[in-house]
Structure 1
Amino acid sequence: MSTLHIFSKPLNYYSANQLENLISLDDRVLLLGDACFASKQFKQFSDALLVLEEDAHVRAIKLSHNETPISYNEFVALTLTSTQLITW
């Protein structure tokens, strides 16, 4: 199991340099809220980003092939199966 990193704001809100050292390759990165707009910026942390499907839909964001949409039920399941949760 891995750490689930949950982002709700675009990457420029955070210090990207610090994040590089805190997110490992086997961690999962989930984008929700306005972070969905900045998925290309978050690619540096994970090849396969998770995006909350409803938030992307409400913001009329089309997901690319390497972005996985997840439902609220899948989001809850991820929180239960992850070793650690970090909400940024």
Structure 2
Amino acid sequence: MSSAKQNLKEGQSQGKGEAMADEWMQSTKDTANAAMDKTADAAQSAKNSAPENKEQAAGFLQQTGDQVKGMAQGAMDTVKSTLGVSHDKQ
């Protein structure tokens, strides 16, 4: 009978081990699925905001270009005025 009890205990231990392994596998799958969902959400968010960021960048560059153009024009006018080659009638 001792052998039967030992076999029963071994079977129970194996069953508990398999149950724990199944729980860990399911937990791992759940974690992986949650990470994939978060990654997909982040990718979609980035994709949705890309056109907005592109428009903002284009606006910023246009504004900066206009400012640089204005400063260059002002500097050129100052140099012309200093040299006396200004085309402005005064």
- Structure 1 length-normalised TM: 0.16
Structure with bigger RCO (C-alpha 8 Å, 6+ apart): 1
Structure with greater strand share of residues: 1
Q: TM-score, normalised by structure 2?
A: 0.16
Larger Rg: 2
